[in-house]
Amino acid sequence: MMTVFYDGQCPLCASEVSWLQKKVSPGRMLFQDISVPVFNPSVYGKTMPAMMAELHVLDDNGQWHTAMDATRLIYREIGLGWLVAPTKLPGLKQLFDWAYATFARFRPRLQKNHGQCEVQPVRIHAKNIVQFPRRR
């Protein structure tokens, strides 16, 4: 069984994992929150800073995948490999790998309020909502 290691204190990460849990076939993927106090990265030969620095996946064969490679593997597993397939094309692979690395590098700066990512709510004002007539 594939294991996805994620930061449960980050609302963005937790939201993505919640979505993935609905998409994955039962028994195919285990989700390990690395922010819980009982998580010990040394069991896996890793350090907490390394685990927090980027997404980690341990596949069925005991091989580690990180960052965009981990994302690609996860999406293939849930049947959405076609969605991330272009991120492996020459030129685009480097771009997406760079974009992920950039996001991962700045993610800790987004974390405020005792380790939680701060995601700003979007405010929608009623006067900005356009209503379209219903089709009959």
- Give the confidence band of 127 by pLDDT, cuts at 50, 70, 90: very low
CA distance 25 to 125: 39
33 with 8: CB under 8 angstroms? yes
- Read off the DSSP letter of residue 27: T
Please report which residue ranges of the chain form alpha helices under DSSP H: 11-23, 48-53, 67-77, 81-84, 92-110
**88: DSSP letter:** G
Q: Classify residue 123: in a domain, yes or no.
A: no
Per-residue pLDDT of 67-118, as tens digits, reads: 999 999 999 999 999 999 999 999 999 999 999 998 888 877 766 544 444 4
**Within-domain flag for 132:** no
Flag whether pLDDT at 36 surpasses 90.
yes
Any domain includes 77: yes
| Residue 46 belongs to some domain of the structure | yes
Structural domains of the chain, count = 1
Site of tokens 């929608």: 124
Task: Specify the pLDDT at position 125.
Answer: 43
Question: Does residue 89 belong to any structural domain of this protein?
Answer: yes
What is the chain's mean pLDDT, rounded? 84
Residue 133 placed within a domain = no
Is residue 79 in some structural domain? yes
Q: Which domain holds residue 25?
A: 2-117
